Amino acid sequence: MNWNVLNMGLKNDMIEDATRGRTERRDGRLTIVDVARHAGVSKSTVSLVLAGSGLVAEATRERVTGVMSELGYVYHRGAATLRGAKSGVIGMVINDLSNPFFVEMAIGIEEACQGGAYIPFLANAAESPLRQHQVIRSMREHGAGGLVLSPAIGTSLAELKPLLGDLPVVQVMRRVPGLKASFVAPENREGARKATAHLIAAGHRRIAFVGGFASLGVRDERLAGYRAALDDARLEFDPSLVIETAPTYSGGGTAAPQLLNLVAPATAALCFNDVVAIGLLRGLAAAGVRVGEDFGVIGFDDIEEAKHTFPALSSVAVNGRNLGARAAQLLMRQLASGDHEPETVLCPATLVIRATSGAKNANATETRA
């Protein structure tokens, strides 16, 4: 009691003293030692308070926390990591943020980080392995404890491996062949199969697969699902119905005339992703084709925008947000447990039917062909 009162007096004295120039260090940073001095305890005690240790007496804890908020102290995690603490920072390196799907994934990652009290660095590799290399290096230097990585096209294992060292990594959507790291992805094959089967059931026989580059593993999987559905229906696979384009709006746009000018024109298309599908929608509209009536289109990813196109785009929903969240959670779990055994997580892909996949006149179109 008496001691407490005495100490309060002491504390005030020290604040006086401090305001006269002691608190302000040359770079203005307020340290645990400053707090200790003001509270009349040692830095060790303050450290214990910060750690939430039960060892410190209630009265002392209150006094210390009081001083902390009074002075506006902010904890310096950098110093703590130096001493061996976990960093609490993870990096997210995304292949291309101009694609809304990957943006949704990024948002999912961020969301999950908040849930796990981590904080994410953000970097857009813009499909450049060089940039990707630089940002990963930078993130490591800045103390990222792990990485959620959606690798850029053309990422080479040889370059990536020494760069990563033993940094825990979770890959999303895309996988670098040979890299010993976890992987989170949607069931691309199954999703594509279901979508194609739906188009077949609607009466379509000339179904195209549009968009993406052959070098993309994701595309291989989706293409495989497409072929599987054709096989199931005993439809012959026609390579002229597979069109390779950039996975962009304009890529989809350029595919439209190609599909229509075939000797036996396509009457429907499964697109590599929604962005391509939306581009195709516009291309078809420009050519006077009524999508959903004369022509069936299904996209992939089910980005937010798919709901707002005209006609509303049917799509295979892979839930980018969920995918990102799962990846981040997996990484955080691995960081917490210290167990970096590669793990593979497959998330379901579900067909969302809207207006573009209808096929009222599909048979007519087909017979005309």
Partner DNA sequence: ATTTAAAATTAGCACGTTCCAAAACAGAGG
Partner DNA sequence: CCTCTGTTTTGGAACGTGCTAATTTTAAAT
Binding region for its own copies (CB under 8 A): 27-28, 69, 72, 74-79, 81-82, 84, 87-89, 92, 97-98, 100, 103, 106-107, 110-111, 114, 117, 119-124, 131, 135, 137-143, 162, 165-166, 249, 278, 282, 285, 304-305, 308-310
Which of its own copies, DNA, none does residue 97 bind to, with CB < 5 to 8 Å depending on kind? its own copies
Give residue 160's Cα distance to chain centre.
19
Q: Does 45 bind DNA (CB under 7 A)?
A: yes
Residue from 15, 18, 22, 31 touching DNA (CB under 7 A): that is: 31
Cα(18)–Cα(24) distance, integer angstroms = 8
Q: Does 44 bind DNA (CB under 7 A)?
A: yes
Number of residues in contact with DNA, rule: CB under 7 A? 31
Q: Does 32 bind DNA (CB under 7 A)?
A: yes
Binding range to DNA, per CB under 7 A, among 26-34, 242-250, 314-322, 340-348: 26-34
CB of 158 to DNA, least distance (A): 25
CA-to-CA dists, residue 205 to 240, 273, 287, 325, 349, angstroms: 14, 21, 21, 38, 23
User: Which residue in 289, 311, 302 sits closest to 357, CA to CA?
Assistant: 311
Cα(12)–Cα(9) distance, integer angstroms = 5
CB of 215 to its own copies, least distance (A): 24
Supply angle C-alpha 209, 213, 214, rounded to 5. Answer: 85
User: Which residue in 270, 216, 264 sits closest to 240, CA to CA?
Assistant: 264
Nearer to its own copies, 36 or 106 (CB): 106
Q: Are 113 and 90 in contact (CB under 8 A)?
A: yes
Which of DNA, its own copies, none does residue 338 bind to, with CB < 5 to 8 Å depending on kind? none
Nearer to its own copies, 135 or 269 (CB): 135
Nearer to DNA, 66 or 178 (CB): 66
Strand pairing class (268-271; 242-243): unpaired
Binding range to DNA, per CB under 7 A, among 40-48, 108-116, 299-307, 344-352: 40-48
Nearer to DNA, 7 or 361 (CB): 7
Cα(144)–Cα(132) distance, integer angstroms = 15
Which of DNA, its own copies, none does residue 71 bind to, with CB < 5 to 8 Å depending on kind? none
Strand pairing class (207-210; 344-347): unpaired
Nearer to its own copies, 128 or 363 (CB): 128
Cα(181)–Cα(184) distance, integer angstroms = 10
- Find tokens 């009457």 and name the residue: 267
Residues 6+ apart with CB under 8 A from 81: 87, 143
Q: Does 76 bind DNA (CB under 7 A)?
A: yes
Residues 183-196 as b or e (16 or more Cβ within 10 Å = b): bbbbbbbbbbbbbb
Residue from 23, 37, 38, 60 touching DNA (CB under 7 A): that is: 60
Which of DNA, its own copies, none does residue 41 bind to, with CB < 5 to 8 Å depending on kind? DNA
Phi, psi of 216 (to 5 degrees): -90, 125
Which of DNA, its own copies, none does residue 48 bind to, with CB < 5 to 8 Å depending on kind? DNA
Which of its own copies, DNA, none does residue 6 bind to, with CB < 5 to 8 Å depending on kind? none
Binding site for DNA (CB under 7 A): 3, 25, 27, 29, 31-33, 40-45, 47-48, 50-51, 54-57, 59-60, 75-76, 79-80, 82-85
